[in-house]
Amino acid sequence: MAEPTKVYRNKKIVDSLIKKIKEESEKTEEKIRIMHVCGTHEHDLVKAGLRSLLPKNIELIAGPGCPVCVSSAQDVDEVLWIADNHNTTITTFGDMMRVPGSSESLYQAQGRGIDVRIVYGVSDAITIAENSPEKDVIFFSVGFETTSCVTAAEVVRTTLPNFSIYSSHKVIPPAMELLVQRDDLEFQGFLAPGHVSTIIGSKPYEFIPEKYNFPVAISGFEPVDILMGIHSLILQINANSPRVDNTYGRWVKPEGNTAALRTIDDAYVISEARWRGLGVWPATGHEISDKYSHIDAKKKYDIPELEFKELHSGCICDEILIGKTKPNECQLFMKACRPDHPVGACMVSHEGTCNVAATYEEIQWED
Ligand code: SF4
């Protein structure tokens, strides 16, 4: 059996899919804009140079799919408030260190003596808590369903008195609904994220074609995967026959990972969530359920209402995150804001739209 990467990066298969996409794109005079909602898609499609291979009338736009980028400055500020006012160790993913809060990032706070540590995941944070019972340890957890399900497993079983979780989790399908409803965005289909879909399945997207007559294709991350998703969307758009097409069937099942979903349902409740620069979006967050309030840092600490500032002067991450503007249209791009000195959240993570554009130095966006 051929190695999977040899199949999914196979030049002949890629060429044949590009040809099919081109043929289908020639059946319409209209421009077709496809939005993905996944930082991994943005990274992997730019790395593979896929935008440059597509016909001129097909445009791929990046939606709010990078979990680090969409995390609100308010969340960073609140975690820092806890650290400033209690004897704590803050733990989080490496990418979160440089995400700007209103006045400083966790990395900057570490420089003034705040105990902030990078962990690979929640279990590392728990180990730190076990080894330092005299200190409160907080895991600042961000991410979509792919990540939040791992944290959920610890929410439901961890009883360490000195450990809690600050949840900044987001939920993808309701966010997609809000994007479809926006009058200021023009796009005709969603490329849905394969890893999130491995957890939630394909069913949670079904309301999108049913209610909004809007196509969805679930896609993996190799070049062949992404092109299969794009091809499916163009077929659906041309035939005016929207549905949820699962082109990542080797991992995604209609019902998803039922064990993970049971844990998520037990650990969290759906809540509103603040998205960086985009305001509060209803029903797009996962807060820890009251049943597990002992582990909820937001309930454990009496956090006051803090004034916060989502975007630093000149940063247009709010527009970048919904694909309205391209990174090279930001006046700070690769000037004041660079991967080694990010001004905005979209430049921090290797999955952030601005970081991807800067890293691969090839802005493969339509003029
Ligand atoms: S280039 Fe930097 S400042 Fe501009 S939108 Fe992107 S992250 Fe914000």
* C-beta of 277 in contact with ligand 1 (< 6 A): no
Report CA(336)–ligand 1 centroid distance (Å): 9
Task: Determine, yes or no, domain membership for 23.
Answer: no
Task: Determine, yes or no, domain membership for 12.
Answer: no
User: What is the bridge-based pairing of β-strands 58-62 and 88-92?
Assistant: unpaired
The pLDDT assigned to 52 comes to 93
Domain total in the chain = 1
Q: What is the pLDDT of residues 159-218, one digit of tens each?
A: 999 999 999 999 999 999 999 999 999 999 999 999 999 999 999 999 999 999 999 999
Task: Determine, yes or no, domain membership for 25.
Answer: no
* C-beta of 330 in contact with ligand 1 (< 6 A): yes
Q: Residue 173: what are its φ and ψ, rounded to 5°?
A: -55, -45
pTM of the model: 0.94
Task: Determine, yes or no, domain membership for 248.
Answer: yes
What tokens were used for 259?
Answer: 């064990």
Q: Residue 71: what are its φ and ψ, rounded to 5°?
A: -65, 135
* C-beta of 356 in contact with ligand 1 (< 6 A): no
Report CA(316)–ligand 1 centroid distance (Å): 6
Task: Determine, yes or no, domain membership for 11.
Answer: no
- Closest-CA residue, ligand 1 atom 1, reads 333
In this structure, what CATH number is given to the domain that contains residue 263?
A: 3.40.50.11740
Q: What is the pLDDT of residues 264-298, one digit of tens each?
A: 999 999 999 999 999 999 999 999 999 999 999 99
E-strand stretches of the chain? 32-36, 58-62, 88-92, 116-118, 136-143, 163-170, 189-193, 216-219, 244-246, 268-275, 279-288
pLDDT band at 367 (very low <50, low <70, confident <90, very high): very low
Task: Determine, yes or no, domain membership for 17.
Answer: no
Task: Determine, yes or no, domain membership for 27.
Answer: no
Report CA(255)–ligand 1 centroid distance (Å): 38
Report CA(304)–ligand 1 centroid distance (Å): 29
Range of the structural domain that residue 345 is part of: 32-359
Task: Determine, yes or no, domain membership for 252.
Answer: yes
Distance CA 286, CA 265 (A): 10
Atom in ligand 1 nearest the alpha carbon of residue 319: 5
Rounded mean pLDDT, 135-160: 97
Atom in ligand 1 nearest the alpha carbon of residue 352: 7
* C-beta of 332 in contact with ligand 1 (< 6 A): yes
